[in-house]
Every structure is written in structure tokens, then in C-alpha cells.
Structure 1
Amino acid sequence: MASSKVGSIGEYIRDQRQRAKISLRQLAEQAGVSNPYLSQVERGLRKPSAEILQQIAKGLRISAEVLYVQAGILTERDVETDVQEAVRADLALTERQKQVLLDIYDSFRKENALEEEGPASPEAVNPREEAS
């Protein structure tokens, strides 16, 4: 789960809404909250409850846990642990399938962490060129 560190939960919601190409009015309607209220959340004037965050997450079609982490309700570690525990507890999966899922999950998290860091500098890619 990528956690782009945006300044506030409102900025994060606005960013997700814009990425999804949804208007403020559309998201408000899909989330079942008023347009003015959602606008105030995005501008940082209101702090939404966990219930409202869940509704907004449904409207954005993202995990509520992602919004909870951004809002400081959950830590990213809590969410990661929950995912791992859920996979390990699934009786319908073999041990091999569980391990493959956990490996894929871990690789996605690492890939997203690298994307957040941005492109590597040329020196970091090939430090020998600098020394030559």
C-alpha cells in the first residue's frame, strides 16, 4: 500500500479524487456526504470521523485503511500486519499459496517505496563513473 506522504488527510483525499478524475460533487454524492462538507475536509477545515473516511474510501474505491493511516487513526504497520495475519489465517489457502501471496505483497510494498523515493541520481546508479 503506497502511502504518499501528503500534508493532510484533506490533501490526500483531493489528490486521490483528482487521480480518479472525479469531481468534488461526484465524490460527495458517491460517499453520501454533502458537497460543502467534503470541500471543507479537502481544505483542512474539518477533520472527518472514521465513519466518514470509510464512506469517502468507498466513493474513491480505495481501502478505508489507507485513509485511516493518512488520518493517523492507524499506523501503516498495523495495516501491514493485518494483511499478513489475514493471509496466514485463510484456511482455504495452502502454505505455499500463502507464502506466494505474502511475497507478492512484500514486493509491491518495496516497489511503491522506491517510487516514492523518486528516480535515483546518476551517481547512485553508477558510482564508478564519478570516481573516473
Structure 2
Amino acid sequence: MASLNVGNLGDYLREQRRNAQLSLRQLADAAGVSNPYLSQIERGLRKPSAEVLQQVAKALRISAETLYVRAGILDAERDRDEVETRAVILADPTLTEGQKQALLQIYESFRRENGIGSDDGRADGTGLGAHGGDVDPQQSAG
């Protein structure tokens, strides 16, 4: 399998995992991904989705934005404000996961309405996560 241009990401992930004193298996379990898949990411053989990067970042207790930039998902300067807004929503401990996803959907819909829609190709409209399209904001509000 040919190496993708994500070696920098893999090297960075390996370094962060070692700094956290986690084995590959421990990180894979904490992030909810398979051990072989995480190994392939670290070796630069696979390019993970934003959702996987978010899960890995959470498990490592590091910024998902840093992983997005290293993976080429985000342009560091252009997308910083959007990522910071998303990070604040995702980090709010007073919101349920459903409420967070609902807020991200609303945020993205306003951005699209204003001609600044997400260009990351995700169909869920959140730019992060796979469950954005499954959330009913009315149900999440309480």
C-alpha cells in the first residue's frame, strides 16, 4: 500500500500517544477505533476522517484542530474561527451530545445561508461527526 501524504500526522500522533504513555492498543480502545487502523494512520498508510481524528484527539486530550490541520482537513488560518466556534460547542460540559450536534447543524446551516458553507465534502452538515443528520433539534433541546 502506497504511503499517503499524512506521515506528518502519523508521526505527530505517535509522539502524542507516547507522551500520554499509551500503547497503540490502549489509544485505539479509548478512541473507539481498531488497533490495526490506528497503526496504519500512524504509519501514514491511511487518512482518517474528521470524526476519527476527533475521537483520537479526545482520547489523547489534545486539540482536534491540530490534528485536522496536520491531516490537511483544515487550512490553519482560514478555518481557525470556525474550528474555535465548533470546539467551544463541543467542549461545553452542560450540553448533551445531541444538543451539541443540533447546535453544530444550526451553525453550519447559517454559514451555508451566508455563502460560507463547509467545503469539506461531509454530507452531515456539521463538518464533524457522523451523527449530525440524525439529530432532531426539538428533541435535543430538553
Please give the range of the TM-score, normalised by the shorter of the 2 chains. 0.5 to 0.7
Q: Is the 2:41–2:48 contact (alpha carbons within 8 Å) kept by the matching residues of 1?
A: yes
CA distance in 1, matches of 2:12, 2:75: 16
**CA-CA distance at 1:85 after TM superposition:** 7.4
5+ residue gaps in structure 2?
Answer: 1-5, 87-142
TM-score by structure 1 length? 0.54
Can you list the C-alpha shifts for 1:60-86, whole angstroms capped at 9, x where unaligned?
A: 111111100111111221454457879
Report whether the alignment pairs 1:70 with 2:87.
no
- Whose RCO is larger (CA < 8 A, sep 6+)? 1
For the residue of structure 2 that corresponds to 1:8, the secondary structure is: helix
Q: Which residues of 2 match residues 83-98 of structure 1 at below 5 A? A: none
Report whether the alignment pairs 1:57 with 2:74.
no
Report whether the alignment pairs 1:39 with 2:35.
no
Q: Is the 1:69–1:75 contact (alpha carbons within 8 Å) kept by the matching residues of 2?
A: yes
TM-score by structure 2 length? 0.51
CA distance in 1, matches of 2:78, 2:27: 27
Q: Is the 1:25–1:35 contact (alpha carbons within 8 Å) kept by the matching residues of 2?
A: yes
Runs of 4 or more above 4 Å deviation = 82-86
Q: Please identify which structure carries the higher helix content.
A: 1
5+ residue gaps in structure 1?
Answer: 1-5, 87-132
What percent identity do the matched residue pairs reach? 65
How many pairs were matched up?
Answer: 81
Q: Which moved more, 1:71-80 or 1:43-52?
A: 71-80
RMSD across aligned C-alpha pairs, in angstroms? 2.3
